[in-house]
Structure 1
Amino acid sequence: MMIPLLFLLLFLRPFCSSAPRLSERDDCLLENSKLRQKLKTLQDLSQLYEFQLKDLMGNNYHRQRSKVISAKGPVHQEQPWPTTSGNLLVYDQDGGGWTVIQRRSNGKENFYRQWTDYKEGFGQFQGKNDEYWLGNDKIYDLLLREENSLKIDLRDWLGEERYAIYDDFQLKNETNHYRIYFGTFSGNAGDALSGGSNFEDQWSTSLSGMPFSTPDRDNDRFLTGSCAEENKCGWWFNRCHAANLNGLYHKKGKYTGTFDNGVVWFTWRGLWYSLKYTAMKIRPLSFLGGQSGDGETS
Structure 2
Amino acid sequence: MADKALILLILFVPQVQTLHRLPENESCWLEVSELRNVIRNLENQYALGQWQLKDLKDSSYNWENSLVYSKNLKKENSQYKSSFPSTSGNLIVYDHDCSMIYNRRKVSSGFYRIKPQSIAEPFLVYCDMSDGTGWTVIQRRTNGKVKFDRSWSDYKNGFGHFKKKNDEYWLGNEYIHSLLLNDGNLMQIDLTDWKEKTAYAIYENVKVADEKDNYRLQFGIYSGTAGDALSGGGNVEEQWSVSHNGMQFSTADQDHDRYLHGNCAKENKGGWWFNRCHAANLNGKYYRRGSYTGKNDNGLIWFTWHGWWYSLKSSSIKVRQQAFLDDLGSGNGRLL
If the length of structure 2 is used for normalisation, what is the TM-score?
Answer: 0.66
Q: Is the 8 A contact 2:99 2:133 kept in 1?
A: no
Structure 1 residue identity aligned to 2:112 = W
Partner of 1:67: none
CA distance in structure 1 between the partners assigned to 2:148 and 2:105 by the alignment? 37
Work out whether 1:92 is the aligned partner of 2:98. Answer: no
Q: CA deviation at 1:45?
A: 11
Larger radius of gyration: 2
Relative to structure 2, which stretch is displaced further, 44-53 or 193-202?
A: 44-53
Q: Is the 8 A contact 1:195 1:207 kept in 2?
A: yes
Q: How does 1:60-71 map to 2 (within 5 A)?
A: none
Structure 2 residue identity aligned to 1:183 = G
CA distance in structure 2 between the partners assigned to 1:252 and 1:262 by the alignment? 11
CA distance in structure 2 between the partners assigned to 1:133 and 1:159 by the alignment? 23
Work out whether 1:78 is the aligned partner of 2:125. Answer: no
Partner of 2:218: 181
Q: CA deviation at 1:129?
A: 1.2
Q: CA deviation at 1:215?
A: 0.1
1:205-255 deviations in whole A, cap 9, x for unaligned?
Answer: 000100000000011111011100001110000000000000000011110
Partner of 2:195: 158
Work out whether 1:211 is the aligned partner of 2:248. Answer: yes
Work out whether 1:239 is the aligned partner of 2:276. Answer: yes
Structure possessing the higher relative contact order (Cα contacts under 8 Å, 6 or more residues apart): 1
Q: CA deviation at 1:293?
A: 6.8
- Structure 1, unmatched stretches of 5+, are 1-5, 7-43, 61-76
CA distance in structure 1 between the partners assigned to 2:226 and 2:171 by the alignment? 23
Partner of 2:96: 49
Structure 2 residue identity aligned to 1:78 = S
- Find the residue that maps to 1:49 and give its secondary structure: coil
- Find the residue that maps to 1:80 and give its secondary structure: strand
CA distance in structure 1 between the partners assigned to 2:332 and 2:158 by the alignment? 25
Q: 1:51 to 1:263 in 2, by over 3 A?
A: closer
Q: CA deviation at 1:86?
A: 8.6
Q: Of the candidates 313, 320, 326, which is equivalent to residue 283 of structure 1?
A: 320
Partner of 1:69: none
1:75-111 deviations in whole A, cap 9, x for unaligned?
Answer: xx52112468695211111211100000000000000
Partner of 2:68: none
Q: Is the 8 A contact 1:45 1:142 kept in 2?
A: no
CA distance in structure 2 between the partners assigned to 1:221 and 1:45 by the alignment? 43
CA distance in structure 2 between the partners assigned to 1:228 and 1:281 by the alignment? 22
CA distance in structure 1 between the partners assigned to 2:113 and 2:223 by the alignment? 32
Work out whether 1:128 is the aligned partner of 2:165. Answer: yes
- Find the residue that maps to 1:100 and give its secondary structure: strand
Q: How does 1:112-123 map to 2 (within 5 A)?
A: 112-123=149-160
- Find the residue that maps to 2:223 and give its secondary structure: strand
Q: 1:203 to 1:53 in 2, by over 3 A?
A: closer
Q: Is the 8 A contact 1:115 1:217 kept in 2?
A: yes
Partner of 1:101: 138
If the length of structure 1 is used for normalisation, what is the TM-score?
Answer: 0.74
Q: 1:191 to 1:45 in 2, by over 3 A?
A: farther
Partner of 1:71: none
- Structure 2, unmatched stretches of 5+, are 1-47, 49-90, 115-119
RMSD between superposed Cα atoms in Å = 2.6
CA distance in structure 1 between the partners assigned to 2:331 and 2:258 by the alignment? 33
Work out whether 1:295 is the aligned partner of 2:326. Answer: no
Structure 1 residue identity aligned to 2:305 = W
Q: 1:153 to 1:267 in 2, by over 3 A?
A: same
Q: Is the 8 A contact 1:207 1:241 kept in 2?
A: yes
Structure 2 residue identity aligned to 1:49 = H
Work out whether 1:252 is the aligned partner of 2:289. Answer: yes
Identity of aligned residues (%): 51
Partner of 2:262: 225
Q: 1:288 to 1:232 in 2, by over 3 A?
A: same
Work out whether 1:201 is the aligned partner of 2:248. Answer: no
